[in-house]
Amino acid sequence: MAELLRVPEVAAGATEVILSEWLVKTGESFSNGDPIAVVETEKAVVEIAAPADAFLLRTLADAGTEVSVGSPMALYGSAEEKDGDLDDMLTGLGVSASPVTEAEPRREVPDTEAESPGPTEDPPPQRIEDTGVEEQEATGAEQVPGDGARLFISPIARKLLRDAGIPAEGISGSGPNGRIVRRDVESLIADSRSASPVVQTPPEQAPAAVQQEARPTPSTAGFTDVPHTRLRRAVATRLTESKQSIPHFYLTGRAAVDDLLALRTQLNEHSPVRISVNDFVLRAVAVAHTEVPDANVIWTDDATRRFDDVDISVAIASDRGLVTPVLRAVQGRSLSSIAAAVKTYVSDANAGRLQQRDLEGGAISVTNLGMYGVPEFSAIINPPQSAILAVGAGQPVTRIVNGEVAIVTEMTLVLSVDHRVIDGALAAQWMQSLVAALEHPLRLVV
């Protein structure tokens, strides 16, 4: 019997996702567990797995549309049902046969039209279409008054433009019929960051006097409003909730890392992938969690959850915003394995290929601003984790070593801790173990 494929909750608390693309065409078969569609959340691109061996009978949501979690996105069934009455099947399942489209106006009204003193029988000077197929006016022929033009734009491209504060008019699209697609917007945004903030429009598309700025126009009051991106809103909400609901406390450790830096130089002469100081820190965190297992926990409403493996989130400032993918079972990884995994995550984050599962799990995060020369800082815990380690830059300081004054390279480490599950003494014991591992780095390679 034909069944509905519904939009799953791919991220905790998510109510809407953007259907990025279908990986299976209507009428094609798929096997249980095969990826059949791709959806986008605020932080990741997630593949939707097939629930059974079946055929894709009909899609109920177009690629590029925003769909609600739990809503039907497709109808699937057996080979025999491919030739059946799909409308009747959908009706029997209580679903409309019409595809899901974005709950937004299909037409955007220019300012000049909004200020018009009265209605007009002429067609609007511009239309922005959500579909990839050019549509006719009710009269059966497309009419474009004056220099006006019809613009075709995918919903996801329109959202990216809106988030960046860039108008759609005057942009050349590379899709069918000149449709503006996601890659056009991403390329435009990237170009605007390194070149002039003005988007040059070809003469045949718009008059030279109607060139649009690629960035929000500064107001006469002396400020500029830059619209929030979806990712920026998600980060803001999450961190606000963290500071409001998690009782943070902080403690600081300082590690002499001269031996670590010397060992890193030697290892990089033979390692297949370049190892960073942060890779050593990640390995040291795994050692500290192994030696102090009571710190490898998180708070839940009903219990303290203790993990068997040491999974660590790594803060990455990607081209798309801050993300924290999780390295799995770091206690069993080599330094070169950690380095390779982090580099892969950085590449995936910049390309928007991170999956939701890459962002879930772990009890601690590591964030490092040492490469920017920041000597010391504290960070906000990434819920539901119980701690985050802020790593500063190594600085030359004087220490008493074997009774003599010496200059050593010292790294400052600030641990933010959830006091609900980790007490001060336990956190201090964990920090002691971390500093010892960093100051005796051979422990990190055996």
Please provide the DSSP assignment of 76-104 as one string: EE-SGGGGS-HHHHHHHTT--SSPB--SS
Helix (H, G, I), strand (E, B) or coil at 304: strand
The model's confidence at residue 369, banded by pLDDT at 50, 70 and 90, is very high
Stretch (H or E) spanning 38:
strand 35-40
Please work out, in degrees rounded to the nearest 5, the angle formed at the alpha carbon of residue 196 by the alpha carbons of 194 and 201: 120
Higher-pLDDT residue of 350 and 216 is: 350
The model's confidence at residue 12, banded by pLDDT at 50, 70 and 90, is low
Residues catalogued as catalytic: 419
Picking from 95, 101, 104, the residue whose alpha carbon sits closest to that of residue 76 is 95
Asked if residue 13 is part of any domain, the answer here is: yes
Name the residue type at position 399: R
Structure tokens at 234: 């998600």
263 and 319, same structural domain? yes
- Least confident among 56-65, 227-236, 271-280, 401-410: 227-236
Structure tokens at 366: 């590591």
* Cis-peptide into 384, omega within 30 deg: yes
Asked if residue 235 is part of any domain, the answer here is: no
Whole-number pLDDT of residue 55: 93
DSSP 356: G
Instruction: Give 21's strand partners.
Output: 38
Per cent of the chain over pLDDT 70 is 77
Asked if residue 232 is part of any domain, the answer here is: no
Q: Are 366 and 391 in contact (CB under 8 A)?
A: yes
Rg (CA), the chain: 27
According to DSSP, the β-strands at 16-22 and 66-68 are antiparallel
The model's confidence at residue 221, banded by pLDDT at 50, 70 and 90, is low
pLDDT tens, residue by residue, 54-73: 999 999 988 888 888 888 99
Picking from 371, 387, 425, 381, the residue whose alpha carbon sits closest to that of residue 285 is 387
61 and 7, same structural domain? yes
The listed range with the strongest mean pLDDT (113-127, 228-242, 341-355, 366-380) is 366-380
Asked if residue 210 is part of any domain, the answer here is: no
The model's confidence at residue 109, banded by pLDDT at 50, 70 and 90, is very low
- Least confident among 113-117, 210-214, 218-222, 269-273: 113-117
439 and 301, same structural domain? yes
Q: Are 298 and 363 in contact (CB under 8 A)?
A: yes
Residue where the block lists tokens 């006469």 = 220
Instruction: Answer yes or no: is pLDDT of 93 > 80.
Output: yes
84 and 23, same structural domain? yes
Distance from C-alpha of 167 to C-alpha of 151, rounded to nearest angstrom: 12
Q: Are 282 and 368 in contact (CB under 8 A)?
A: no
CATH number, domain at 253? 3.30.559.10
Asked if residue 285 is part of any domain, the answer here is: yes
Distance from C-alpha of 432 to C-alpha of 446, rounded to nearest angstrom: 20
Instruction: Answer yes or no: is pLDDT of 18 > 60.
Output: yes
Asked if residue 109 is part of any domain, the answer here is: no
What is the overall mean pLDDT for the chain? 80
The listed range with the strongest mean pLDDT (132-141, 208-217, 419-428) is 419-428
Mean pLDDT over 131-156 rounds to 43
Instruction: Answer yes or no: is pLDDT of 173 > 90.
Output: no
The model's confidence at residue 145, banded by pLDDT at 50, 70 and 90, is very low
Distance from C-alpha of 440 to C-alpha of 437, rounded to nearest angstrom: 5
pLDDT tens, residue by residue, 188-217: 777 665 444 434 434 444 444 434 444 555
pTM of the model: 0.61
339 and 428, same structural domain? yes
Stretch (H or E) spanning 33:
none
Higher-pLDDT residue of 364 and 89 is: 364
Please provide the DSSP assignment of 171-235 as one string: PPP-SGGG-B-HHHHHHHHHHHHHS-SEE---TTTS-GGG-EESSPPPPTTS----PPPHHHHHH
Domain residues for 187? 124-134+146-202
Mean pLDDT over 65-91 rounds to 88
Instruction: Answer yes or no: is pLDDT of 327 > 70.
Output: yes
Q: Are 344 and 324 in contact (CB under 8 A)?
A: no
Distance from C-alpha of 182 to C-alpha of 199, rounded to nearest angstrom: 16
- Report the number of distinct structural domains present in the chain: 3
Asked if residue 227 is part of any domain, the answer here is: no
